[in-house]
Structure formats: structure tokens, C-alpha cells
Homo-oligomer: A and B are copies of this chain.
């Protein structure tokens, strides 16, 4: 009667992106890493990963080099890139509602934000969530072996 099929709030695409960034963080300062290398180690469909990495490049998180010896690499040191920035690049807003989103704000069609209780609770939630995601960086995403 109440059957849920394991929904997550982050899409598969964002999960793949975070896994890939984690891998690139681990191999930072080793030069360009092949897409195929990331795909193999993190079990991500190759062509899908290509589009994800390209998108991260467009968002100034990654850089790339073509041809032999090429590949992808972080534009800045892992500690300089927040998890919030990475999620926003792939997923879009982090807030639970557009009317409390800092980076993707949109006014509610039918309620007054000054009096809306839902808005107030969601704004507090956003603050709590962002306190973590803005502070944590790609360095924190790295695996501890």
C-alpha cells in the first residue's frame, strides 16, 4: 500500500558527477585523467559521463585537454571547490522550494513570503543544508583508504 522504490533526492546524474569529482580530486596534480578511466573505476556509463564532465567544464569546475595525453582535471585544488557548487552545476537548486533558493530563486505564485509559514521552515532548512554543503569541498568527497 505504501510502496516506495528507493527514491533519492539527488539524481543519478548528480551522483555520478560527485563520484567522478571525487576520483578527480584523488588524482589531482597527476595530470589529465581519461574519461574512460573515471568511468571504469567509478562504474559510470561512458557516454553519459562524457556529457556530465563537459557540463562541469562549462561550469568552470573542470578543465580538459584533447589528444594524446589529454583528459579531464580539476580547475582548482579540491579544497577550493565546494560540494554546493558541484551540486548546483549538475542538479540545479539545493533548496527544497524555489521561493527559498538563493541561486535559483522564483517567487511563489500564490503566497506572500512575509506571512507564509512553509516558506519560513524551508528557509531554515536551506540554511542548515547549505551550512554543510558550502563548507565541505571535493577534498571531503575523496575516499579514505
Q: Are A117 and B141 in contact (CB under 8 A)?
A: yes
Decide: A125 and B115 in contact? CB cutoff 8 A.
Answer: no
Interface of A is mostly: loop
* Range class of the A interface residue count: 35 or more
Among candidates B83, B106, B110, residue contacting A6 with C-beta atoms closer than 8 Å = B106
Binding-face segment, A27-35, A66-74, A89-97:
A89-97
Please, what's the 1-or-0 string for A57-101, where 1 marks a CB less than 8 Å from any CB in chain B? 011000000000000000000000001000000011111111001
A95 to B125, CA, bound (A): 12
CB distance from A2 to the nearest CB of B (A): 7
A2-B59, A8-B95, A92-B7 known; A140 vs B125 contact (CB < 8 Å): no
In the docked arrangement, what's the CA distance between A43 and B112, Å? 13
